[in-house]
């Protein structure tokens, strides 16, 4: 029995680096692909948004003299590179995946529409929704909130290297305590970092719960969709 029938999985580009300094770590990529395939085999409909921080971030371009809009466009293209890598890895693991892009990029990926994603789900495809929102000054956190709401996902799963939301940064503060569950209001008032505020507000306003969990431990995605209590659930 699965707890969620339709999910939006957000993977950060940075997590895809593993312990490398740049780019795509193939062990992590294949581990993600394997976990995604296992969950797809349970019949779960999976939309995925991947970041691009392992390749390029618009803001870091600005500090090197790039125009912000151009830098952001480079960042959005970086998410397409990661999406193609994940598609390829899912197919390599024996699964089916399609890449949809926020802006026209055929034949790299099909132009995103909600209808095409839902049709893909019916045919058993995982939908990797690339290119962010298509607009500068946004993040892939916001893109994942937007796509999650659009495709009517039951939950936004934020797969990271940390196993949930803590009272403080657990890598810096030994006394940091993990929340099993917290409301959007409490998380906002405590200034906890769940996602950036644009994404956070979008989820809260549209009643899309966020579950933050450690995706780098194989088997965790399966645990989440089958209802095992791991990570932190943020809800209204």
Residues lying near ligand UDP in the complex (CB under 6 A): 12-14, 51-53, 57-59, 71-72, 75-76, 78-79, 132-133, 135-136, 138-141, 143
Annotated binding-site residue? 218: no
Comparing CB distances to ligand UDP, the nearer of 11 and 39 is 11
For the beta carbon of residue 99, count every other beta carbon within 10 angstroms.
23
Comparing CB distances to ligand UDP, the nearer of 52 and 109 is 52
Comparing CB distances to ligand UDP, the nearer of 55 and 234 is 55
Annotated binding-site residue? 137: yes
Closest CB to ligand UDP belongs to which residue?
51
Comparing CB distances to ligand UDP, the nearer of 205 and 228 is 205
Comparing CB distances to ligand UDP, the nearer of 64 and 122 is 64
- CA nearest to 72, candidates 51, 100, 99: 51
Annotated binding-site residue? 68: no
Quick check: bond before 23 cis, omega within 30? no
| Shortest separation between residue 43's beta carbon and ligand UDP, angstroms | 28
Annotated binding-site residue? 57: yes
| Shortest separation between residue 124's beta carbon and ligand UDP, angstroms | 27
Q: Is 110 helix (H, G, I), strand (E, B) or coil?
A: strand
Q: Is 92 helix (H, G, I), strand (E, B) or coil?
A: helix
Q: What are the structure tokens assigned to 170, written together?
A: 């657990």
Residue given tokens 């995604």 in the structure block: 36
Per DSSP bridges, beta strands 210-214 and 232-235 are: antiparallel
| Shortest separation between residue 141's beta carbon and ligand UDP, angstroms | 6
Annotated binding-site residue? 198: no
Q: Given CA atoms 116, 119, 123, 129 in this order, what sign does their dihedral have? A: positive
- CA nearest to 102, candidates 38, 163, 146: 146
The residue ranges of DSSP E strands in 88-152, in sequence order, are 97-101, 110-111, 126-130
| Shortest separation between residue 64's beta carbon and ligand UDP, angstroms | 13
Measured between alpha carbons, how far is 163 from 37 in angstroms, rounded to an integer? 21
| Shortest separation between residue 165's beta carbon and ligand UDP, angstroms | 17
Q: Is 98 helix (H, G, I), strand (E, B) or coil?
A: strand
| Shortest separation between residue 66's beta carbon and ligand UDP, angstroms | 10
Comparing CB distances to ligand UDP, the nearer of 75 and 120 is 75
Binding residues for UMP: 52, 72, 133-140
């Amino acid at each position: 029995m699965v707890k969620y029938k339709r999910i939006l999985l957000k993977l950060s580009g940075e997590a895809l680096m593993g312990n490398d300094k740049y780019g795509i770590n193939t062990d992590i990529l294949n581990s993600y692909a394997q976990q995604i395939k296992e969950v797809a085999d349970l019949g779960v409909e999976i939309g995925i948004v991947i970041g691009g921080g392992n390749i390029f971030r618009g803001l870091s371009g600005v500090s090197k003299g790039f125009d912000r809009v151009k830098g952001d466009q480079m960042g959005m293209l970086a998410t397409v590179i990661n999406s193609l890598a994940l598609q390829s890895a899912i197919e390599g693991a024996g699964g089916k995946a399609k890449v949809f892009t926020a802006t026209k990029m055929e034949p790299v990926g099909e132009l995103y529409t909600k209808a095409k994603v839902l049709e893909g789900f019916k045919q058993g495809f995982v939908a990797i929704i690339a290119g962010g929102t298509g607009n500068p000054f946004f993040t892939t956190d916001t893109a994942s909130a937007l796509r999650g709401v659009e495709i009517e996902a039951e939950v936004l799963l934020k797969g990271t290297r940390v196993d949930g939301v803590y009272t403080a940064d657990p890598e810096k503060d030994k006394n940091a305590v993990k929340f099993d569950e917290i409301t959007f209001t409490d998380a906002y008032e405590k200034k906890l970092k769940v996602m950036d505020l644009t994404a956070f507000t979008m989820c809260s306003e549209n009643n899309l719960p966020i579950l933050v969990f450690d995706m780098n431990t194989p088997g965790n995605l399966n645990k989440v969709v089958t209802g095992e209590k791991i990570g932190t659930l943020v809800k209204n």
